Amino acid sequence: MTVYTVNRDAREFLEVMGVVNNTAEDHEMSLLFFLWYLRQAQGVNRIWLIKDGAQERKIVGGSQQLSIKIAKKLGGTYN
């Protein structure tokens, strides 16, 4: 991603966004993926906002418990 960003501030912003939101370093994801991710989220503000944003709702105990409960009901195993 850093190859295609000429502005240092833009590059640093993209690096922070990648680490914070995608838990990946900039060299671990493509710029095309990152742009797709921003488009799907309807922009940076939607990702970072609490009200009406991606961080608005949290599941007490974590979201993995949903998968575990579904696996139990289906009779599958889980780790």
**pLDDT tens sequence across 54-65:** 666 778 888 889
53, two tokens: 């944003």
pLDDT at 36 over 80: yes
Q: What pLDDT does 3 receive?
A: 59
Whole domain around residue 27: which residue ranges?
2-74
User: DSSP for 7-31?
Assistant: SHHHHHHHHHHHHHHHS--GGGS-H
In a domain, 79, yes or no: no
Q: How many domains are contained in the chain?
A: 1
29, two tokens: 């994801």
